[in-house]
Structure 1
């Protein structure tokens, strides 16, 4: 699970990687590039100086801890589900268009049942919501099959 945010300097990317690794590993974080994260230039120049931008990827124990039992799901259906005041899994992390939720959350079963109802052809709802429910179910199924 890489960080999609680009940093203007390598040192900023290192700070971002260290913070992400520390969140994932807690006290066992060793703060060294190598076992926990790696820094990469993205190859595209930025600014008037033409310097590379950088991004990081967690790896090893930090990647395993950060992604253990967490699945990336589209926002659309989860937002609709929570707006209807139904039990909703806690959001671990979010991006512009996705939430990360825990597969161990006790509220996940209610979300999946609701998504199954909306994903069926017999449901009389707007097409976008139906497609969002199907995308959510596919993401959760993918998370379960890949051991996330």
Structure 2
């Protein structure tokens, strides 16, 4: 019998977060994926450096790759330092890869990284979302709801 998966991912230290993704996309499903990194990339991430603001993931040859994620060169690295914006392979189960590939190919969805973090075992992970792009009216509605929640908080604080 398979071991039950935890509902939320165990994030010990969040390194990079894509805050814009929740504004630009409807998040349908989330996946936790490992990343194939070199030694200097892991060291740079442990120092809290890295950005996934403009990054995305794509399916190539039945593998999933993280494209355009920026992990700057490690300051104490030598001539074997890594390239900052190289494509990085994401490590997922075959079933998850097939599910993501089908959703991207048939439903026109996008693979968006939400965050890079270290889990409880010290491994670097990516929270990957299967998302559908929002149109301008949807973005306005999201902004309106967020402003109303903020105003509600102010009113409750004043009269509570």
TM-score by length of 1: 0.26
* Higher helix fraction (1 or 2): 1
Structure with more contact order per residue of length (Cα contacts < 8 Å, sep ≥ 6): 2
Task: Indicate the structure with greater strand content.
Answer: 2
